Amino acid sequence: MAWRGWALAGLLAVSATAQETSVFSKSSNDSLLWGPYRPNVYFGVRPRLPKSLTTGLMWARVEDFQSVQHNVRYTCEQHEGMAGYGWDAYDPRTGGVQTVHDKGNGIDIEMDFVKFDEGRGGWGARIKGTPRNDAEPGAGSEGGVQTMKTAVWFHAGIEGLGSLEVQDAEAGEELGFDSDVVINGQSQDLGEFKLTITESDRNSHPNHAHPAYQTKPLDHTFVHSLQVPEEALWQAKAILFSSMKTTVDAYVEEYTEQKMPPPWQTYTIQNRPTEGNMHLIQKVFEGSFEFDVLYTPSSAAKPATSEDLTQAIETVVESFDQKYLETLKPQAPFNDDKHLLFSKSLFSNLIGGIGYFHGDQLIDRSYAPEYEEENEGFWQETAEARARGAQKLEGPYELFTSIPSRPFFPRGFLWDEGFHLLPIVDWDPELCMQIVSSWFNTMDEDGWIAREQILGAEARSKVPVEFQVQYPHYANPPTLFMVLEALLAKVGAKQSSFSTTQQVVGDMGGNALANPDAVKAWLKQVYPLLQRNFEWYRRTQWGDLKSYDRPAYSSKEAYRWRGRSDRHILTSGLDDYPRAQPPHPGELHTDLISWMGMMASSIHHVADYIGETEDAGRYAKMTEAIKRNIDDLHWSKSDKTYCDATIDDYEDSVHVCHKGYISIFPFMTGLLGPDSPHLKDTLDLIANPDELWSPHGIRSLSKQDPLYGTDENYWRSPIWMNMNYLIVQSLYNIATQAGPQQGKARTMYAALRQNLVATVYQSWVETGFAWEQYNPETGAGQRTQHFTGWTSLVVRIMAMPGLEGSGGHDEL
């Protein structure tokens, strides 16, 4: 098979494709230019531009000397003492409201973010802290929570060429600033701008009798301007600690450890306002507090004020609420206030998790012969090849994407992203197209897209070293093609297997790019990239039919994931799901051929829509050949289900059947129609409580499988919302078409839809979070918390039609 020859072109990793799909500008007038595009931190605003202005927010309760260093909040972390956090309402074009329920620090912090004049007038953020009623009394809050001491730090940094300078720095040099702090800045892409951090006379600040207060009164704002290496700008928390350590050391020298100022005085930054590429701004509050951050470009018609910000926040929330009822309103039986609030929260956190990432990434382009995976024992050979460490940094790349989880997976994942975009396409098709374009812009000349986008040192800091390297022969489920199907449904081109919302898009948000003509123009532009990506999958992930006796309709359509180990196929996305043992180069994988069928069907529909008639006919034939081969190669008559295949000791092709998600992949990817002879058995498997059905959703592996719940138990029992979404969507499609299984599908659809919503909702109420997966026995959320990626598909499930009159599971 030698793919090394054609893959050499991949050395041109960042190619002209970045220009090929650049139909969307990122000018200063773009309403999507600015946003909280640093989703790995609780609040951090930046533009979708490399080498530009970045900001962030940190805070801590400062009432004792021991806990402060552990309680400074900055990056989103799991199990950090939060009672929940996230966006309550958010639209990337206008802004929204986020609340962090910081139980550990005894405070709730609301972070409002809005854009003025669709971004042309800049943006504003309001930071508002309210002590929690359940806050533990601290050493400095003898008067109750209303005297709680909280330090808040805002930071601004400029990457690359540009400048940031504190205005009227001399006014704050001695004691700090007793009014607004203004930073003047400029960069090549942004031009000149002002960043204003306001001071309100409604805030209270701590006072005390220690002499340190006289030279550094806490009713002033402190600014520490620094010049730091550009590659260290993202390490704001470490820079903060360094600045505070200098203050602490000076106090120790002046007053001794026995006569130190109180913690809320001690834990302050140095006050040195001047020029620099990074500025730390600190305020210390007593009780509730509020202040604003206002960004004003020189092109703004007039500078925005705090009064403008107040009005804009009200307008943004009202417009969000109205638009939500028009696009994603939960349908019966979820059409009540509690489910509407739940739905808004999950969707806002999905779309509020969109980020902009820029930097280099580690890629192994050694094209070692072991990577061809042709020999028995290939997984051991490839492990040895990877251990040679042939990876090199490539780039820079840039990516505009949503993410699976802010605390644990704050970066782009290829197979997650297609699921993320299904609710987003209902809200803002043009935003969805920009994200898809950004992903395809990372494609190399061969058609490969890295399955995990770990761009830059900040992103790598969250990933274990053994998982950082990307390999150009590794695939991932091509879920972005599901989004193309959903877009075609939005423009009324076809009935999509991945969309139940068939409204034709109009002029969304005043943006002309969100109309059917623009969608068609965009599809024409990305079409060559779709073809390149599709052909890459066919060249690199092919399955061996010729070496073994495997009768099939087509001699070409068979597929095998590359990159498997003894116990895992990480590239499949289903990690530890049971597969053939031992691994064999003659394996054929049911899930991959199903994804290829979905992919072929999608590109067929795109070709048809944009008038590529000859191509459309060719892709239609491929789709049919894949469907036929799925039955010929993967259907087990004895097990009455779809199975992987491998080669036994006698060189015969045999099925390897582990009933679970793999078994129903042809159904989930829309390749089983209402008249399929295997549809009944597939529905029976899903509906059987001794196999896959549970009161909380569909299990990943059958309860009857010997490996159920064993070892890591990642994909060996838990309920996953992305797979359950595909199941409920496919049930809906069968339930709304005439056929022998229509009634059964209708009943299953209604029951599963209710079970899934109840599972995610109940866990959200109890914990404050959406979770990565759910326990099939209890329904409890588990693994990664604040997993607002594909778990947010429950938003779409609630928005699906209720199909009134459907029975419950007892009627199955």
Active site positions, annotated: 575, 772
What per-residue string of b and e applies to 246-274 under the rule 16 or more CB within 10 Å gives b? Answer: ebbeebeeeeeeeebbbbbbbbbbbbbbe
**Cβ atoms of residues 566 and 579 within 8 Å:** no
Measured distance CA(274)–CA(262) in Å, rounded: 28
DSSP state, residue 509: G
C-alpha 734/C-alpha 676 separation (Å) is 11
Peptide bond into 333 cis (omega under 30): yes
Residue 549 sits at φ, ψ, to 5 deg, of -80, 95
Helix (DSSP H) and strand (DSSP E) numbers for the chain? 22, 26
Residues with Cβ within 8 Å of 380's Cβ and at least 6 positions away in sequence, in order, are none
- Strand intervals (E) in 648-734: 653-656, 693-694, 697-698
> Under DSSP, is residue 725 helix (H, G, I), strand (E, B) or coil?
helix
H or E, element range at 539:
helix 516-540
46 and 37 Cβ atoms separated by less than 8 Å: yes
Phi, psi values for residue 127, rounded to 5°:
-110, 120
CB of 453 within 8 A of CB of 361?
yes
Cβ 438 vs Cβ 399: under 8 Å: yes
Amino acid occupying residue 211: P
Phi, psi of 77 (to 5 degrees): -135, 150
Could you tell me if 648 and 655 are in contact, meaning their C-beta atoms sit under 8 angstroms apart? Answer: no
Nearest to 53 by CA among 241, 236, 233: 233
Residue 790: DSSP 8-state: G
DSSP H helices in 112-156: none
Nearest-angstrom CA–CA distance, 259 and 251: 9
C-beta neighbour count of 139 within 10 angstroms: 12
Rounded distance between C-alpha atoms, residue 536 and residue 219, angstroms = 62
Q: Cβ(458)–Cβ(234) under 8 Å? A: yes
Give 167-185 as a DSSP string: TTHHHHTTT-BSS-EEEEE
Give the 3-state secondary structure of residue 347: helix
Phi, psi of 264 (to 5 degrees): -70, -15
d(Cα 559, Cα 544) in Å, to the nearest integer?
8
Identify whether the C-beta of residue 656 lies closer than 8 Å to the C-beta of residue 644. yes
Could you tell me where the beta strands, DSSP code E, fall in 749-811?
Answer: 771-774, 781-785
Q: Shortest CA distance to 508 belongs to which of 94, 22, 23, 46? A: 94
515 DSSP 8-state letter? S
Distance of CA 585 to the CA centre of its chain: 33
Length of the chain: 812
State phi, psi for 382 to the nearest 5 degrees. Answer: -70, -35
